[in-house]
Amino acid sequence: MSGSTIAERLGVFAAGLEVDALPQSVVERTTGCLIHALAVGMAGSAAGFGRQAEQASPGVSSPPNLEGYARSLVTGQWHPASTAAFINGVHLHARAQEDTHGTFHPGVSVIPAALAAAESSAVDGRTLLAAVVAGYEVGIALSGPLTDLTTPPFRATAVFGPVAAAAAVGRIRGLSGERMTSALAIAASISGGTSESFGAGTDEWHFQSGIAATSGLMAAQLAETGVAGSRTAFEAEAGFLDCFSRSREAAETLARDLGRSWNILDVTFKPYPVCAFNQAPAMLAVRLRESGLRADEVASIRLRMNEREATYPGMPSRGPFASTSQTLMSARFAFATGLVQGDITYDLLQQFTDPQVLDLIGKIDLVAEPGRSAKTAHATVTQIDGTTVHDAIEDSDAMLSWHMDGVVRNAERLATEIPLVAEELETLVDSVATLPQASSVDPLIRSALAGISVGT
């Protein structure tokens, strides 16, 4: 691929990706991402955002024909594939507990698009697996070097998600390298979304993942019909790099390691339904609680975080709080809840006026520390008796890079919020694990619909 453009490098790679050529570690991480995404989606039903997305375009219990249609994971109703991708993208993102790479959440754009395309095209499980890997690899190949340059004011999932989803859908549809290149170029031309709603505490961001999924799916469909996309969509003047990173310096090296190193292995998972930036302070607070520290013994807390993260829209908020969009973004709320409750559940994020949490928030000095590594946190807690406690998490990525047993344990925790019985969770895990032998994705879809009363 010497001398090729970014879109061509990405397109040829995604079009030619085969499961048999993947390292076993990549297959295992991909199945982990699928289990995590679907379990989080089930637990996210209570948030209601997926249902709101579906209300904008009601489905049918029986489609006129199966080709071109896919099911909503919210209700089990059938929709055109592009609509199903939108609904399920919102659904999987409803409680903000999706997987993450930097500030990009690949699973909530790639997996909904891939599932919708796979079901509507009646492909087998191996094809779905290959597509998911293609989507993650392409999306992260872009987001990895660029996300710090784009976010904020843009939002990474809205910027990189459409291209990642297009790669996944293009692989399912069997696009050639040339057609895949066009699909990625089309997706790049319609990417973008702001992070302003985090600061406002409103709901727009919940729907960006669904828009990314459906945009990528439609980009692949357009390319399949013969719509031509620019070979230089990323590096040309006024292209993707100019628009989102204000620099073309990465153009020569971007996406040249595809297939030699695997981006999906660097994806991490969230134990708590809060912003990725808040995982470290949340884990730190829970650990302090487990060590015996009690909120009513605290006089003051100095919480030091990465400068960019501590100042990101919504992160510095002290309240007042009136929505989960505010509480899951606030570093103070996450830390206070973790220390008061010893856990953070979606229900606890809705306790906007808990007096003990609000009292502790008032004692937290959030410090944006220049030079502090991303996704770390250091707490200095001064107690009423004058004693001081220090604790820190300096490498949360290592703590959250779970193997399959960690993914399953977290899904078991989530099952209590769904609620999901042990047999249903086991069926979900088995349906993902057996994808390489599955002749269709129907068993996987059915397992993700556990607990929903729908027609067959």
pLDDT-derived band at 65 (thresholds 50, 70, 90) equals: confident
User: How many domains in the chain?
Assistant: 2
Q: What is the pLDDT of residue 400?
A: 96
Q: Answer yes or no: is 1 within a domain.
A: no
Angstrom CA distances, 417 to 22, 279, 286, stand at: 35, 19, 19
CB 223, CB 179: distance < 8 Å:
yes
Angstrom CA distances, 102 to 92, 140, 224, stand at: 18, 9, 31
Query: Which residue, of 367, 396, 425, is where some domain finishes?
Result: 396
Average of per-residue pLDDT across 417-441? 92
Domain co-membership, 181 together with 244 = yes
Q: Answer yes or no: is 455 within a domain.
A: no
Q: What is the pLDDT of residue 252?
A: 83
Q: What is the pLDDT of residue 304?
A: 98
Domain co-membership, 41 together with 173 = yes
Q: What is the pLDDT of residue 451?
A: 67
Average of per-residue pLDDT across 258-276? 96
- For the record, the structure tokens of 170 come out as 């293009």
CA distance 411 to 266: 20
CB 404, CB 306: distance < 8 Å:
no
Q: Answer yes or no: is 456 within a domain.
A: no
Domain co-membership, 374 together with 410 = no
Q: Answer yes or no: is 22 within a domain.
A: yes
Q: 58-67, 216-225, 262-271: lowest mean pLDDT where?
A: 58-67
pLDDT-derived band at 401 (thresholds 50, 70, 90) equals: very high
Beta strands 388-393; 377-383: pairing state: antiparallel
CB 36, CB 269: distance < 8 Å:
yes
Q: What is the pLDDT of residue 144?
A: 92
Q: Answer yes or no: is 208 within a domain.
A: yes
Dihedral of CA atoms 364, 149, 185, 135 in degrees, nearest 10, equals -50
- For the record, the structure tokens of 244 come out as 């989102």
* Domain, as residue range, for 66: 6-269+401-448
Domain co-membership, 329 together with 218 = no
Query: Which residue, of 378, 396, 414, is where some domain finishes?
Result: 396
Q: What is the pLDDT of residue 456?
A: 35
Burial class (CB in 10 A: 0-12, 13-18, 19+), 367: middle
Domain co-membership, 211 together with 353 = no
Average of per-residue pLDDT across 233-260? 89
Q: Answer yes or no: is 454 within a domain.
A: no
Q: Answer yes or no: is 453 within a domain.
A: no
CB 63, CB 297: distance < 8 Å:
no
What's 382's domain CATH number? 3.30.1330.120
Q: Answer yes or no: is 287 within a domain.
A: yes
Q: What is the pTM of this model?
A: 0.94
Domain co-membership, 59 together with 34 = yes
- For 294: left if phi > 0, alpha if psi spans -120 to 50, otherwise beta; the answer is beta
Q: Which residues contact 120 (CB under 8 A, 6 or more apart)?
A: 66, 67, 68, 69, 70, 81, 84
CB 396, CB 283: distance < 8 Å:
yes
Domain co-membership, 293 together with 421 = no
Domain co-membership, 97 together with 130 = yes
Domain co-membership, 79 together with 217 = yes
Neighbours of 37 (CB within 10 A): 29
- Check whether 454 has a pLDDT greater than 70: no
Domain co-membership, 82 together with 185 = yes
- Check whether 82 has a pLDDT greater than 50: yes
Average of per-residue pLDDT across 219-227? 98
Domain co-membership, 443 together with 325 = no
What's 90's domain CATH number? 1.10.4100.10
Query: Which residue, of 376, 396, 416, is where some domain finishes?
Result: 396
- For the record, the structure tokens of 250 come out as 């990465």
Domain co-membership, 203 together with 182 = yes
